[in-house]
Structure 1
Amino acid sequence: MANKIMIVDDEPDVVDLVKIVLKSEGYEVVTATSGKEALEKIGNEMPDLVLLDIMMPQMDGWEVYNHIKSNTKTRDIPVAMLTAKSQSIDKMIGLHVVQVDDYITKPFGRAELLERVKKILTEKGRLQPPAR
Structure 2
Amino acid sequence: MTSVLLVDDERDLLSLLDFNLRAAGFETLLATTGEQALVQLRRRVPDIILLDLMLPDVSGTELCRQIKADPRTRNVPVVILTAKGDELDRVVGFEVGADDYVTKPFSVRELVLRLKAVARRAGGGRSAERPPETVGPIRIDVDAHRAFVDGAEVQLTPLEFRLLTTFMARLGRVQSREQLLEDVWEMSSEVETRTVDTHVKRLREKLGSGRDLLETVRGIGYRLIDPREKG
Correspondence for 1:32: 31
Given that residues 2 and 47 in structure 2 are in contact (C-alpha distance below 8 angstroms), is that contact kept between their aligned partners in structure 1? yes
Task: Return the alpha-carbon distance in structure 1 between the equivalents of residues 66 and 93 of structure 2.
Answer: 16
Correspondence for 2:41: 42
| DSSP-derived class of the 1:57 partner | coil
Structure 1 unaligned spans of 5+:
128-132
Given that residues 64 and 97 in structure 2 are in contact (C-alpha distance below 8 angstroms), is that contact kept between their aligned partners in structure 1? no
Alignment of 1:114-125 (within 5 A): 114-125=112-123
1:56 shift after superposition? 1.0
1:126 shift after superposition? 7.0
Given that residues 43 and 73 in structure 1 are in contact (C-alpha distance below 8 angstroms), is that contact kept between their aligned partners in structure 2? no
- Indicate the RMSD between aligned Cα atoms, in angstroms: 1.4
- Tell me which structure has the larger Cα radius of gyration: 2
CA offsets 1:24-65 (integer angstroms, 9 cap, x no match): 011110000000000011122211000000011121111111
Task: Return the alpha-carbon distance in structure 1 between the equivalents of residues 60 and 89 of structure 2.
Answer: 13
Given that residues 52 and 61 in structure 1 are in contact (C-alpha distance below 8 angstroms), is that contact kept between their aligned partners in structure 2? yes
1:55 partner letter: M
In the superposition, the TM-score normalised over structure 1's length comes to 0.89
1:92 shift after superposition? 2.5
1:4 shift after superposition? 0.6
* Structure 1 residues 41 and 126, CA gap change in structure 2 (3 angstroms): farther
Correspondence for 2:58: 59
Task: Return the alpha-carbon distance in structure 1 between the equivalents of residues 3 and 40 of structure 2.
Answer: 13
Task: Return the alpha-carbon distance in structure 2 between the equivalents of residues 87 and 19 of structure 1.
Answer: 26
Correspondence for 1:23: 22
In the superposition, the TM-score normalised over structure 2's length comes to 0.52
User: Which of 1 and 2 has higher RCO (CA within 8 Å, sep 6+)?
Assistant: 1
Correspondence for 1:105: 103
Task: Return the alpha-carbon distance in structure 2 between the equivalents of residues 107 and 3 of structure 1.
Answer: 24
| DSSP-derived class of the 1:15 partner | helix
Correspondence for 2:226: none
Correspondence for 1:92: 91
1:93 shift after superposition? 2.5
Count of equivalent residues: 125
1:16 partner letter: S
Task: Return the alpha-carbon distance in structure 2 between the equivalents of residues 16 and 60 of structure 1.
Answer: 21
Task: Return the alpha-carbon distance in structure 1 between the equivalents of residues 118 and 99 of structure 2.
Answer: 7
Tell me the percent identity. Answer: 38
